Amino acid sequence: MNFSIDQVSFAQKRVLIRVDFNVPLNEAREVTDDTRIRAALPTIKKVLNDGGAAILMSHLGRPKGADPELSMKHIAPKIAELLGVKVHVAPDCIGDDALAVTNSMNFGEVALLENLRFHKEETAGDEFFAGQLAEHGDVWINDAFGTAHRAHASTAVIARFFPHDKYLGYVMENEIFNVNKVLHGSEKPVLAIVGGAKVSSKIVILEQLISKVDHVLIGGGMAYTFIKAQGGNVGNSLVEDEHLGDALSIIKAAEDAGVKIHLPIDTKVADAFANDANTGVSSTGQIEEGWMGLDIGPKSIEYYSEVIQSCKTILWNGPMGVFEMSSFETGTKAVAQALVEATKNGAFTLIGGGDSVAAINKYGFADDVSYVSTGGGAMLEYLEGKVLPGIAAVAEE
């Protein structure tokens, strides 16, 4: 098993690459965000430059059986445009017609297999199906970080057909390298900013992070469970009463570990979950009935920005408020801006998992932070300390 494809030559090899081309399409079936395709280009180019053939496979959406709307053929023009080469499109991902395409292509060329999830065997992790996919290549590269937390046929099971010819591509390598930079041996002080709707989805991550960071900034809806657990009034804010005990345990574990957990000092409150609701600012723990906290308040923004500037390694996961509504995006935008500032001043900043990635993109700051993860759920599971099947499958002897 090799960790970097840098040390491998793919000359004269048919290289089957699992990519994550699950990209958004508009009604005309055009790609509206090509981030994931661009992310995969270095691996594909490496194979082509070595003189190999690149056979790309991915899922697109959640089809139930073959669905022309979710055909990979809609993606092919974008790949061709970005790579500057012709893309052969296979009519299926397995079977004679698909093999006819990949067997007749030349080295230096690219082929795209049809949507893997047109076959239910893909998500079932069916071994026979994985074997059929494996017929396309001499070598398998897994470069789909976005699905690395799934033990599907193309992401994990297929590895057993390439015991000596399986690799992680550059997307995978970068994701692992960058997140490990935060989790292990990073420059101190290390800060984790954790937000989002619910504390329940972040408990394991918080538990894991406490042994690795110096500060935790908490924002978003999950802050109110912490505030209520400490005896504060949170009005009609989002609270998970069944997790009040978990919030207290996390605070206690942080204290024991010498980690500082910061909660918002003040809150932007609203009288309804709506952009045009009446709004005001309440001190933390003093939110009146009939009002709900939908963003961190101005004092918290100032304070959180100072903490961010004082840290050298920073992970951000989850928005500070309901940033999809302009009335409640100020905190999230300010944190994004503070991260850009910190990056300029030499901090390593990683944006990982779901909505904080959406936020950094919304504000156009993706190029102004150190690293933006391409995998939502996969990044969350990695942060939770789980073994990702898509990585383990390559690592296993």
Distance in Å, CB of 225 to ligand AMP, minimum: 11
In the complex, the smallest distance separating the C-beta of residue 71 from ligand AMP, rounded to whole angstroms, is 29
Alpha-carbon gap, residue 337 to 151, rounded angstroms: 37
Minimum distance, C-beta of residue 384 to ligand AMP, in the bound complex (Å):
13
92 by DSSP, 3-state: which? Answer: coil
> Which backbone phi and psi does 316 adopt, to 5 degrees?
-120, 120
Question: Which entry of 198, 260, 362, 386 is annotated as an active-site residue?
Answer: 198
Q: Is residue 36 among the annotated active site residues?
A: yes
Catalytic residue, chosen from 195, 297, 354, 376, is 354
Q: Which of residues 161 and 328 has its CB atom nearest to ligand AMP in the complex?
A: 328
The smaller minimum CB distance to ligand AMP, of residues 163 and 280, is found at 280
Task: Confirm whether 146 is a catalytic residue.
Answer: no
Minimum CB separation from ligand AMP for residue 331, in Å?
9
Check if 377 is active-site. yes
**Which of residues 85 and 197 has its CB atom nearest to ligand AMP in the complex?**
197
Minimum Å distance from CB 41 to ligand AMP?
28
Binding site for ligand AMP (CB under 6 A): 196-198, 201, 220-221, 238, 293-294, 318-319, 321-322, 324, 354-355
Q: Which residue, 165 or 355, is less far from ligand AMP as judged by CB?
A: 355
- Is residue 198 part of the annotated active site? The answer reads yes
Catalytic residue among 13, 14, 18, 36: 36
Nearer to ligand AMP, 102 or 317 (CB): 317
Residues with a known catalytic role: 36, 198, 354, 377
